[in-house]
């Protein structure tokens, strides 16, 4: 996969990989990433596989931890990075060697997921988050993770985010793709979560998720899982394999604030109005499970 320097209107570049017309992050793996990624459509799924799907910075790791705990029936943290169960970071042999049930995650579009996951009717957990908060979180991710080599400021970044000149492309394209896929796809049972609902009443949402997964437990277990997956606790403990040298000032930045509404501290009134206009125009024919048009 060629490494590309993606310019914005201000001449600022972001270092990404380009494959099949889409952008991916520079993923450090001990195998030929291009060969594995291009061969993924022939990968074999298992009927009990679970796919957690979301645009970046929408709560993927949070939900991945919760799902793993529900299936394990305990509230113990998973001593792995979610990237080790991420489709676009895996090789076929690594995927095949995982024990079942496999809890996988991805930021890929529906059509980029291996076909067998549809044929085996694998369960999908789909996460939505307010795109304004996503943009702020992604900006901090891009400016702090060294591999991106990005030095733009917030004013320069927001148009880039809207235009999709970032890994995984436009948030608008992503949610429209998944909305269309859920409307037309009759194979994969799908459960929709929102970041905001998880923040508002996490115990309730964990219970709903458990019912979907047929991994029901006790109210006490749900509360223990919520306590273990508390953002401040996860940030303090960090990922056990996260490499601090990949981040500016040797300070891992996968976890930042984990709150709802931080975008209000970043968007100017003019930026907010502009974003609302783009949102309503781009999604005028789409009805999201959770509308974010204000």
**Can you tell me whether residue 185 is helix, strand or coil?**
coil
Integer-rounded Cα radius of gyration of the chain: 19
Q: Which H, E and C letters describe 67-83, residue by residue? A: HHHHHHCCCCCCCCCHH
Residue 17 and residue 90 in contact, taking contact as beta carbons nearer than 8 Å: no
Contacts 24+ apart (CB under 8 A), 225-231: 225/66, 225/69, 225/70, 225/75, 226/202, 227/75, 228/65, 228/69, 228/75, 228/76, 228/77, 229/62, 229/65, 229/66, 229/69, 229/202, 231/62, 231/255, 231/258, 231/259
In the chain the first and final C-alpha atoms are separated, in Å, by 38
Q: Cα(243)–Cα(146) distance, rounded to whole angstroms? A: 11
Contacts of 204 (CB under 8 A, 6+ apart): 197
Which stretches of the chain are DSSP H helices?
A: 33-38, 60-72, 92-97, 116-119, 131-144, 154-163, 171-184, 195-200, 202-213, 219-228, 231-237, 269-282
Strand ranges of the sheet holding 123-128, from the earlier edge strand across to the other edge: 103-106, 50-54, 123-128, 190-194
Residue 145 β-bridge partners = 247
Question: Catalytic amino acids?
Answer: 107
Angle, to 10 degrees, between the axis of helix 219-228 and the axis of helix 202-213?
120
């Amino acid at each position: 996969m060629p490494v590309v320097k993606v310019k914005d209107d201000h001449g600022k570049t972001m270092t990404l990989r380009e494959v099949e017309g889409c952008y991916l992050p520079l993923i450090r793996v001990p195998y030929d990433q291009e060969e594995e990624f291009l061969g993924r459509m022939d990968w074999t799924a298992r009927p009990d596989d679970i796919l957690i799907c979301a645009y970046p910075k929408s709560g993927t790791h949070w939900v991945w931890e919760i799902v793993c705990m529900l299936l394990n029936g305990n509230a113990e943290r998973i001593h792995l990075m979610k990237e080790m169960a991420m489709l676009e970071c895996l090789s076929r042999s690594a995927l095949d060697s995982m024990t079942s049930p496999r809890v996988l995650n991805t930021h890929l579009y529906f059509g980029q997921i291996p076909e067998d996951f549809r044929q085996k009717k694998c369960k999908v957990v789909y996460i939505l988050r307010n795109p304004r908060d996503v943009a702020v979180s992604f900006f901090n991710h891009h400016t702090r993770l060294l591999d991106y080599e990005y030095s733009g400021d917030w004013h320069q970044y927001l148009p880039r985010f809207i235009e999709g000149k970032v890994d995984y492309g436009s948030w608008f394209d992503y949610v429209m793709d998944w909305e269309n896929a859920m409307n037309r796809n009759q194979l994969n049972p799908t459960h929709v979560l929102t970041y905001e609902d998880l923040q508002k009443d996490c115990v309730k949402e964990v219970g709903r998720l458990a019912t979907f997964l047929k991994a029901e437990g006790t109210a006490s277990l749900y509360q223990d899982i919520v306590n273990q997956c508390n953002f401040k606790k996860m940030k303090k403990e960090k990922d056990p394999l996260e490499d601090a040298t990949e981040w500016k000032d040797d300070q891992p930045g996968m976890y930042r604030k984990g709150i709802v509404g931080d975008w209000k501290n970043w968007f100017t009134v003019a930026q907010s109005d502009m974003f609302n206009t783009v949102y309503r125009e781009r999604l005028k024919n789409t009805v999201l499970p959770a509308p974010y048009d204000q």
